Structure 1
Amino acid sequence: MATTLAGKTILMSGGSRGIGLAIAERAARDGANITLIAKTDQPDPRLAGTIHTAAEAIEQAGGRALAVVGDIRDDATIAEAVERTVGEFGGIDIVVNNASVLNLSGTAQLEPKRYDLMQDVNVRGTFMLTRAAIPHLLASPDPKVLTLSPPINLDPRWFAGHPAYTMAKYGMTLAATGFAHELGQKGVSSTCLWPATLVATDAIGNLPGGDQMVAASRRPDIVADAAYEVLTTGGQALNGRTLIDEELLRERGATDFAVYSMTGRDEGLAPDLFL
């Protein structure tokens, strides 16, 4: 049974741009309340937008926004975000674990601080943000946790080129699966979502050869529409699943995927990692 996100309160890591912002704007069209935790307080020439422009976009779309400037690696920032969200909106219905660091370096080339950054943002951030929200999720009538992470694919090619990134993304999926089994017994539905193709984000565009990859990508809207389907599916029908955006949207009746393509054609697209 589908619901609406009107009046629902979402606590999201990241969200200044890209997939996170697209998910937030889609929820805002229903009238959702959205708290963003992000570091980008000032414009950066490599990145589009800030947490403040994202908050403005959410409100222009019809939602209410709360911007918490801070680092998802910092426990004090997480505690502040939870406290301010509950104070402003009265509770937390949904946690979206969106913040993620991408680094495709091999083992010998990856600096220790870059390894720690990926693990701390991707895995620890997912775990600690969800953990901090648990008391409020349990008070929600239909609580959800949505984590932007892939199905665990043990094909050696995903370990041969960038084992540290693979570990960090799979760690997010393992955390979300743990939430599904532990918190699912208490009514919380935890689901992972991953794109079928590359998605045009700054993280992709800033990589070597990024222009070509962006041209073979879909817009973040496809992930946002799939996330909306997850978050408006009542109860625990999707608890514990790792979903692919295109597959879910096809199951829900979508047929025109060219609208999501950067070129306007549903061909020549690059599959995302781990698929």
Structure 2
Amino acid sequence: MSDVAAPDLDGRTAFITGTTRGIGKAIALSLAEHGCNVVSTGKTVDDTDADLDGTIHETAAECEDRGVASHAIQLDLRDADEVAAAASEAIDVFGEVDIVVNNASAIEIASVESMPANRFDLMTEVNVRGTYLTSRAFVPHLREIGGGQILTNAPPVTMDRGPGKAAYAWSKLGMTFVTLSLAGELEGDGIAANAFWPVTAIDTRATRYFGMGTEDDWRSPAIVADTVLELLDRDIEYTGNAVYDEEILREAGVDDFAEYNLTEGDPAPLSARMFDPDYERPA
């Protein structure tokens, strides 16, 4: 995390959804490097016959290699009972869980006409409902331990109505609405809730699969992980915000983002413009 004071997360524990690979794994490993215990959750526990490498157990092991305790829990965010059980298991294992990161998401870019209802339902259930269920499962515990932080990988609330984005944009903005509403509900309990989103597309399986630009347009997941670190370093009074990664890192003193770029030169703000076609990067 260059140019930014690294937070001390020793003794803290984070429950993170979607840690098998990509952004979720990057966040998990980054928090572990800064002393945070990690609950690694997701659906993949065996990648032997899978098209993609990575399991929640591999991520947990890599966190432990960084000197922290980690625990893997298989989790389908669509199942309310599984979410509640996973929260209880995490609390039983670590005693306290004071960081909740809603990272897992389903994505599909398609027109309303071409997207079947079951794919719409999937994004609604995983993204909006999953964020709702996960956050809700931890609220009583966070109150009991005297506070904590809920962070959600979702964009600032804008109203882009571009073609092909109806289902995905609705579900991601729904994640943001859940988080911002929680911020107001929990402010008096010492529980902060904020959303974060990358300005540029991030190099992940989904980015490549859906053809969202080329390497010239992408950054590494490290920029999102550093954004999470900066948010965790903020006072608990910093709540109710939906921020872009560049915005929060500039406030922390970063003015050169070259280390995150996959190729020379800053990539275009594709991700921000997906939700706000008028987005302009600060000079």
Q: TM-score of the superposition, structure 1-length normalised?
A: 0.92
Contact 1:39 1:71 in 2 (8 A): yes
Within 5 Å, which residues of 2 pair with 1:99-118? 99-118=104-123
Query: For 2:202, what is the secondary structure of its paired residue?
Result: coil
- Which deviates more from structure 2 when the two are superposed, residues 117-126 or residues 70-79? 70-79
- Which deviates more from structure 2 when the two are superposed, residues 75-84 or residues 118-127? 75-84
**In structure 1, what is the equivalent of residue 279 of structure 2?**
none
Deviation of 1:231 (Å)? 1.1
Query: For 1:61, what is the secondary structure of its paired residue?
Result: coil
Within 5 Å, which residues of 2 pair with 1:35-184? 35-43=39-47, 45-157=50-162, 160-184=163-187
**In structure 1, what is the equivalent of residue 223 of structure 2?**
222
Deviation of 1:215 (Å)? 4.1
* Residues in 1 aligned to 2:243 and 2:269: alpha-carbon distance in whole angstroms: 18
Question: Residue 192 in 1 paired to residue 203 in 2?
Answer: no
TM-aligned CA distance change 1:25 to 1:2, over 3 Å: closer
Query: For 2:70, what is the secondary structure of its paired residue?
Result: strand
* Residues in 1 aligned to 2:58 and 2:25: alpha-carbon distance in whole angstroms: 10
Amino acid at match of 1:162: K
Contact 1:8 1:32 in 2 (8 A): yes
Question: What is the Cα-based RMSD across aligned positions, in Å?
Answer: 1.8
* Residues in 1 aligned to 2:247 and 2:35: alpha-carbon distance in whole angstroms: 27
**In structure 2, what is the equivalent of residue 243 of structure 1?**
243
**In structure 1, what is the equivalent of residue 257 of structure 2?**
257
Contact 2:261 2:267 in 1 (8 A): no
Deviation of 1:54 (Å)? 0.9
TM-aligned CA distance change 1:32 to 1:106, over 3 Å: same
- Which deviates more from structure 2 when the two are superposed, residues 39-48 or residues 26-35? 39-48
Deviation of 1:55 (Å)? 1.0
Deviation string for 1:36-65 (max 9, x for gaps)?
Answer: 220011216543311111111111123221
Deviation of 1:77 (Å)? 1.7
Query: For 2:230, what is the secondary structure of its paired residue?
Result: helix
Question: Residue 14 in 1 paired to residue 18 in 2?
Answer: yes
Amino acid at match of 1:216: D
Q: TM-score of the superposition, structure 2-length normalised?
A: 0.90
Contact 1:217 1:270 in 2 (8 A): no
Count of aligned positions: 269
- Which deviates more from structure 2 when the two are superposed, residues 242-251 or residues 36-45? 36-45
Query: For 1:145, what is the secondary structure of its paired residue?
Result: strand
- Identity across the alignment (%): 38
Deviation string for 1:183-213 (max 9, x for gaps)?
Answer: 1122210000000100001111112x35x43
Deviation of 1:135 (Å)? 1.4
* Residues in 1 aligned to 2:66 and 2:117: alpha-carbon distance in whole angstroms: 41
Deviation of 1:270 (Å)? 4.7
* Residues in 1 aligned to 2:187 and 2:243: alpha-carbon distance in whole angstroms: 17
Contact 1:40 1:51 in 2 (8 A): yes
Question: Residue 204 in 1 paired to residue 207 in 2?
Answer: yes
* Residues in 1 aligned to 2:226 and 2:69: alpha-carbon distance in whole angstroms: 19
Structure 2: where are the runs of 5+ without partners? 277-283
Query: For 1:181, what is the secondary structure of its paired residue?
Result: helix
